[in-house]
Structures are given as structure tokens and as C-alpha cells.
Amino acid sequence: MKSIFSLLIFLIFSNYYTGHSTKTKIKNYGNVKTLYISEFNFGEKTVSAEELKMEILGRLSKQIADKLGFKDTIMLERKTYLYPDKTSLFILEKNDTNYKLLKLDEGHKKMQGGSGVAIRIQSQKVSVKDVLKMVEYVIKNRKKLHEKLIKTNYWLSETDKILILANSQEFISEITKVKSKLVDEIINEQIPLSDNPTMKIFWKNNEFVFGMNLDKLKPGNDYADLMKSQFRFCDFEYYINSQDSYFFLIFHNAKTFSYFDGNEDNTTQKITIEKKSWYPFRLGKEKIGTKIILYDTTEYFYVYNINKKLLQKIE
């Protein structure tokens, strides 16, 4: 078997060194503007939970604005990172709704302009509910937002830094620990996160729900009955969508994943996998029968048997 897979090495790793640039997504939801920046871009088939959260936050922040009668601009900026030792950054401010996190790494700090309110977060992960509480807070307390900003170091590299105005972690904790009736009203809203003809992802009851799109199949279709199961998570790291969109690999964290294709018999709860690099795993270009190939470095790759739920390392 090893000789067979060796023939596929070139195909598997031919695009290994591509896609390590920043992934940036900008969207508008009425008067709500969102910017998402990740440290690495592995294409549309590899999507982090943090990216999906921006879709949720954009739509639900619009609802909060409407319920509070706020018609000015709300800017939500979110930058993620893979390394756990970085310090989180929070900036809640008014009348500065231009894009800022895009420019901070270039050393720019004076970019004020644009009426409204802004929430800027640089961290590894966020809670949807916590950010919605921040949205409610900045709308209700916009006149005194600048009073809560303090001088903070923003590190451009290990040795280079600039001084910016940001919020303390203690201040952010004061906001998120308070219960909100408004946030509780909308937190269970169902938000569709994929319009793929094969798969379906949505957010409901503060959970991510994965399923296969069976809307076009007639009732009683054998395939529909076989593929009707769903997979639910409160949070995860990222998912990998297969080339033909007929299965997902959902990584709960850096070293644990589940396989899901809508068939309950094939679904795995958690498979542990060794990992060396900081990069997300990637799929080989081809599926071989009931086996799939995934990798994170050029030193080895893994073969996962869907039916047997077994993982084998090939070096």
C-alpha cells in the first residue's frame, strides 16, 4: 500500500506551500460592517469557526441595532492568530469606523474617522454571546467609550512596538459577565452559514450544526433516509470540506477530529491525530475508495479508513 500512496505524494503536496497568506473577508449587514482577518489562508475548503462567527455576529448585531433604534455605523473587526501565547486585544470606541486592524501591523495608528461605534478584537477565539454583549454596550454607552481606553503596547514584532489606545481585559470582563435580556432574546436565532447544494451548515441555540443538504430530494428517498443525521458542536477549530462537498473533517482542536458525511454509521465522535506544525491539516486531492489522505507537513501523511474508523500514519 505504501508504494501506491507514494505515487500520490506529488499530487498531495503539490500545493502544500500555497495559501499561507492572510485571509481577509469584508461584509456588510445593513449598517453593520464586518472585517475578518486570519493569519493563514488555506482556501475556501478550510474554514475556521471564528470565520463563521463573523457571519453570525454581523447578522445578530444588526438585530441588536434595530431593536435599540441605532442607525449609525457599527464596525466589527476581528483578527485571529494560531499561537496561544499572544495577548488578546480589545478596542471599543466611537467615531472611528474605518478599517484599523488591517493597518496596525504596518505601524499606522492615526486612522480616525467615520461616525458610529466600533468593536475591534484580536484573539485566538471569541464567544458569540460575549461579543453581542459588547455590541449592546457600545450602542448604549457610546458617549463615554473613550474614557475606558488606556495606552497599550501593540507589538509589530518581538522587538518593535507602537503605542495605541485599547481596553483592559478587566473592563471587557465587566461587560461580558453582566446578563443581557436582549442578547438572550436573539442568541437562539437560526443563522444559515452555507448555501452549498450538497452540504448544510447553520447556527442555532448557540451551536454549530452540520448536515447534508437534502432539500431537493423527494420524501421517502433512500438516500435522504441514509444521510439525514446531523452533527452539533458548541465550538470547534476548523472544518475541511471535501473536494466534492460530500464529507467534512471537523477539527475540535489541533489534534482531534471527527468525520461526518450525514451517515450516522460513518460518523466518528473523536479521532486523535499527531501533529507537528502550527498549520491546519489539509486533504489530499483525491479520495481512494473508502480512504482519505490528510497531512500537515511534507514529512508524513495520514490515511483514514472511513468504514473501519482507523487512522494510519505513512512516513
DSSP codes of every residue in 109-176: ----B-SSEEEEEEES---HHHHHHHHHHHHHTGGGGGGG-EEEEEESSSS-EEEEEEB-HHHHHHHH
DSSP structure class, residue 288: B
Residues paired with residue 248 on neighbouring β-strands, in sequence order: 241, 260
Cell numbers at 184, concatenated: 438572550
The type of residue at 300 is Y
**pLDDT given for residue 269 in this prediction:** 84
Radius of gyration of the chain (CA): 22
CB 78, CB 54: distance < 8 Å: yes
Give Cβ neighbours of residue 312 (< 8 Å, ≥ 6 apart).
302, 303, 304, 305
CB 113, CB 103: distance < 8 Å: no
CB 289, CB 265: distance < 8 Å: no
E strand or H helix that includes residue 310: strand 310-314
CA dihedral (24, 162, 74, 148) positive or negative: positive
SS3 state at 257 = strand
For residue 62, the number of C-alpha atoms closer than 13 Å in the C-beta half-sphere is: 15
**pLDDT given for residue 286 in this prediction:** 66
Q: What is the pLDDT along the chain (315 residues), one digit of tens a residue?
A: 444 444 454 444 444 444 557 789 999 999 999 999 987 777 788 999 999 999 999 999 999 999 999 999 999 999 997 665 567 899 999 998 888 887 787 766 656 677 899 999 999 999 999 999 999 999 999 999 999 999 998 887 778 888 889 999 999 999 999 999 999 999 988 999 987 778 889 999 899 999 887 776 666 665 556 667 788 999 999 999 887 778 889 999 989 999 998 888 888 889 999 887 778 888 887 677 789 999 888 888 999 999 889 999 988
Looking at the chain, list the stretches that DSSP marks H as alpha helix, in order from N- to C-terminal side.
2-6, 9-13, 49-67, 101-104, 128-140, 169-176, 181-186, 222-226
Please choose, from the candidates 188, 224, 229, the residue with its C-alpha nearest in 3D space to the C-alpha of residue 207: 188
Give Cβ neighbours of residue 230 (< 8 Å, ≥ 6 apart).
209, 210, 211
**pLDDT given for residue 83 in this prediction:** 63
pTM: 0.88
CA distances to 57, 133, 232, 266 from 203, rounded to whole Å, are: 11, 18, 9, 23
Cell numbers at 47, concatenated: 474554514
